[in-house]
Amino acid sequence: MSLRALHRNSTRSISKSGLKMAIAFGLLATATVFAPPAQLLAEPLAGQARGAVQRVVHGKVEDKGGAGVKGAVVYLKDGRSNSVKSAIADDQGTFRFVQLSLNTDYEIWAQSDEHKSGTKSISSFDSKADITVTLKIDK
């Protein structure tokens, strides 16, 4: 049943003051029904302007000679929550972090045994959704 039909049916058996309230409510309900489509049209456009909503950070942990460091632990620190994710470098020294926010700053570093790489920053101002990082460990 449409709002107008509901409004007509509900106003037949009420007093004048009730009728005024029902009309006011009916107008409010009508305005509410017509407002969301405009919002729905605007939201996809805003979403399209943003582009990608997630970031991928991947790369390689290398020793002094440029060879991959198997089993190195790569740490990724979230600048908002200070939480730290970790990944283990594969046989070639490569690693990957997925589903990262574009609106968050990150710090990334690697460690193998007692050797640690320098820390690199990933800025929320960098709009790239795919970031490649090389981490060097003096081993």
Phi and psi for 120 in degrees, rounded to 5?
Answer: -115, 150
> Average pLDDT of 117-134?
96
Query: Do 73 and 92 share a domain, yes or no?
Result: yes
Half-sphere exposure at residue 137, Cβ-oriented, CA atoms within 13 angstroms: 24
Cα distance between residue 87 and residue 61, in whole Å: 11
Query: Do 84 and 42 share a domain, yes or no?
Result: no
Query: Do 65 and 129 share a domain, yes or no?
Result: yes
Query: Do 122 and 65 share a domain, yes or no?
Result: yes
Query: Do 60 and 124 share a domain, yes or no?
Result: yes
Q: What pLDDT is attached to residue 11? A: 47
Cα distance between residue 74 and residue 110, in whole Å: 4
Q: Read off the pLDDT band of 4 (50, 70, 90).
A: low
To the question of pTM greater than 0.75 for the whole model, the response is no
> Per-residue pLDDT tens for 55-111?
999 999 999 999 999 999 999 999 999 999 999 999 999 999 999 999 999 999 999
> Per-residue pLDDT tens for 38-57?
444 444 444 445 555 799 99
Phi and psi for 137 in degrees, rounded to 5?
Answer: -115, 125
Query: Do 110 and 63 share a domain, yes or no?
Result: yes
Query: Do 69 and 24 share a domain, yes or no?
Result: no
Query: Do 59 and 110 share a domain, yes or no?
Result: yes
Number of structural domains in the chain: 2
- Check which CATH number belongs to the domain holding 115 and give it: 2.60.40.10
Domain extent for 66: 54-136
